[in-house]
Amino acid sequence: MTNWFQRASRKPRPGTAPRSAASVLGGLAGNPPATLARDRALLVRWRDGDRDAGLQLLDLYAAHERVVAFRLGVRDPEALLELHQDLVLRMLDQLPTLAERIESSLAGWLAWQVRDLARGRLRREFPLSEAGTAAEPAMTDPNERSATWEAILACRDGLPERERAVFELRYLEGLSLQEVAERLSSNANAVAQSAFRLVRRMRACLASQGFSLGGVEA
C-alpha cells in the first residue's frame, strides 16, 4: 500500500503549469454521460482492489485538480503536493461509497474537495480574518461535511435548469463567468445575472435547513 500511495501522491513535474480551466474541463466533459460512466467504472474497480484503476483516475483529473488549486492561490509545489496527498487520502476514505454518490460529475466532486482542503489549509495558516477576529473553523467532522454537502446537493436540485448549470460550472468546477458563458453559449453578463439569482435561492434554501453558504458571491 505504501508504494502505491507514493505513486498516487507523486510530486507534480517541475515547471508544469496547469492548462486553462476551459481546456481542462472541456476535455473532461466533452461527453458527460460517457465520462460519468467511465469514472464510476474506474471507482468501482479501484474499490474492488484494482489500484491501477485508481492511478488512472488520478491521472485523468490531475490537471483539473491543479487548476482549481491555482485558482484558490495554492501554487507552491510543496503545498500542491500536500493538498494532493490529502485529496488521495480523502478519496480512499470515501471509496467504499464514492461511485454511488457521484451524481453529475467526478470533476465537480473533486473541485469541491480541493476547495475544502485548500480553505482548511488557509485557516490553519492564517487563523485570524482581515478584521482580526477568529476565522470560521474548518469542518473537521466528516458527518458535518457530509450533511452540508447533502444539503447543498438537495438545494442545487431545486434550482431551475439554467441556474443549476451555472451553479455547477461556476461554483463546483471553478470556472470564471466568461468560461461559464462559453460553455453555455451565452455571455458573461447573462451568466452573472443567473449567478446572482441562484446564490439568493441557495442561501434561502440552505438557511431553511440550518446551513449557510458563508461568503459565496456571484
- Whether 21 maps to a domain, the answer reads yes
Residues of the chain short of pLDDT 70, as ranges, are: 1-32, 121-146, 212-218
> What residues contact 22, with CB distance under 8 A and at least 6 apart?
175, 179, 182, 183
- The range of the structural domain enclosing residue 89 comes to 1-129
Residues 150 and 209: their CA atoms lie apart, in Å, by 11
Residues 164 and 121 in one domain: no
Residues 168 and 166: their CA atoms lie apart, in Å, by 6
How many CB atoms are closer than 10 A to CB 213? 17
pTM (two decimals): 0.54
- Number of domain units in the chain: 2
Q: What percent of the chain has pLDDT over 90?
A: 17
Block residue for cell numbers 461535511: 145
The grid coordinates of residue 189 equal 453578463
CATH number where 203 lies: 1.10.10.10
Q: Please tell me what DSSP assigns to residue 173.
A: S
Residues 60 and 123 in one domain: yes
